[in-house]
Chains A and B, each alone.
Chain A
Amino acid sequence: ETGVTQSPTHLIKTRGQQVTLRCSSQSGHNTVSWYQQALGQGPQFIFQYYREEENGRGNFPPRFSGLQFPNYSSELNVNALELDDSALYLCASSLVRGGRGYTFGSGTRLTVV
C-alpha cells in the first residue's frame, strides 16, 4: 500500500507566475484535501475534493484552484503568485469526506521570489 506522494518536493517561482502542484492519494482513498503551512505555523485548510468536485473551501482567494481526477489524484493551481504564498503545501487523502482519517504527504515547499 503506497502512501500519499506529492511532486515536486521543492519549487522556486517568481512573483506573478503560476504554479501547479500534484498529489497522488493513498490507495483506496477517494478524498483529497490541500493545506498551506507557513513557516512556524499550523496547516491552514485550502479546499477538499471528493469524486472530482470541490467539497469545501477555506479562506483562500479564487486564484487558488484545484482539480481531482478519476483516479483520485489531484492538482493545486495557484495563479498570480505573491510573496506570501511561500509555504509548504500539504496534500492529505482520506477514505471519507470531512476532516478525519487524513494521511498527509510530505509536501511541496514553494518559494516565491
Chain B
Amino acid sequence: EADIYQTPRYLVIGTGKKITLECSQTMGHDKMYWYQQDPGMELHLIHYSYGVNSTEKGDLSSESTVSRIRTEHFPLTLESARPSHTSQYLCASSDRLPYEQYFGPGTRLTVT
C-alpha cells in the first residue's frame, strides 16, 4: 500500500546525542519535505527536496541536515541534540501536480 512512513514515532534522548529521523515513502513521489510543529501550532518548513541529490533549506532556520540519496528516502539528522530541538517533526511528499502534500505520522522528539 502506498504510504509515507516515519521512524521512530517517539524519541527521548539526552543533550549532545546525534540522532537521525527516518522518512520513507512508497508513493512514487519525487518531492519530499520536513516540517517542525510544536503541539497545536503552525507547521514550519525546515527542509525540502525536489529529487535525488537535491536538498534546500526551508523557511525556518534549522540546525538539522538532510540527505536524498534515494527517491523514497529522506532522513533528517541532528548532529548534537539540544532541548530547543524538542518538537514534532513531520515528513511529507508530493507529486508534480496538483501540489497537495501527503504527510507521515510524525516523530515526537524530546531532548532532555
Q: Do A and B bind each other?
A: no
**A interface list, Cβ under 8 A from B:** none
Chain B interface residues toward A at CB < 8 A: none
